[in-house]
Amino acid sequence: MSNLIHRNQVVKMLGTPDRTEGSLNDPREQREGSIVYNEKWIYDHPDNDPAGAAQRVVFWHRYDFVASLIRSSPQEQWQHDEELPKLLLQEDSRVEGVPAPNPPITPTRAYQPVSDFEGPPDLGGHIEGERSGQS
């Protein structure tokens, strides 16, 4: 179990944000109240929000999770949410649940041609299917 919250855990739980402000590579720090951040993820209607919030904001300082604010409607005040970090810290793996539909390739040193050769081997310089010596 990790003591860090990773970005892909948040995306797995809430989906991709509706909007983002700033960037993890932006050296300029921004401040909202007591929260200092480089990047802000804004969810207008988060899917499967653990708090049932209608709106959520997630703050990041580079790769580090800083805080999350929620509200039930646009008229309400923003409130700090402590449930999201608790839930995310319970997860074991930062890539848990990521599907791997393609099986791994077995390494080999044997030559595996992509297509069948026609005619005697040569140095190339022609298009497959063309006859040599004709103009």
Q: Which of 44, 49, 81, 55 is nearest to 66 (CA)?
A: 81
Name the pTM for this structure. 0.66
Q: How confident is the model at residue 45 (pLDDT cuts 50, 70, 90)?
A: confident
Q: Residue 135 pLDDT > 50, yes or no?
A: no
CA distances from 52 to 25, 49, 83 (A): 31, 5, 11
Tens-digit pLDDT profile for residues 59-118: 999 889 999 999 988 889 999 998 888 888 886 544 555 566 777 778 888 876 666 667
User: E strand or H helix at 14, and its extent?
Assistant: helix 7-14
- Is residue 65 within 8 A of residue 80, CB to CB? The reply is no
